[in-house]
Amino acid sequence: MKRAATLLALLAIAAGLTWWATASYNAAVQRAHQAETTAATLRKQLDNAKAATVTVTQYVDRERVIRLKGDTIIKEVPRYVPVQADAACVVPRGFVRLHDAAAAGTVPNPDTRDADAAPADVALSTVASTVAANYTGFAPVSPDTASHLS
């Protein structure tokens, strides 16, 4: 009987150790799986951060190029719109009002009728400079967007 009790006690101890080892192994596997998932998530975030940084840098460089080219274009307005063109072309007030409203993002007041037909005291070269500044001065306008607008 003593021998059977000892054998039963040894079997119970072996079963307990087996259960403990299995539980420890399963916990280690679960921790390893969580670590792999976390590492994959962090790797993906790092890749996204690298891509976002490059895009921002490219955008800033592109904006700088647009502004530099815009300054050059504005300096060239007298060459392409000479004084003779300023004298020959009358810019109506309606055009000036419509352009200013579009630049401000508003709708012009439609109640002016014939007052818009009168000439504005704005030279054609001023219109050309303003349009060039509008296309190159706003940060959201990229070269791709500007080509679709024109």
Contacts for 63 with CB less than 8 Å, ≥ 6 apart:
139
DSSP code of 112?
G
38, pLDDT greater than 90:
yes
Is pTM beyond 0.85 here? Answer: no
141, pLDDT greater than 60:
no
Domain segments of the chain: what residues? 1-61, 76-150
Q: What are phi and psi of 105, to 5 degrees?
A: 80, 30
The pLDDT, as a whole number, for residue 39 is 95
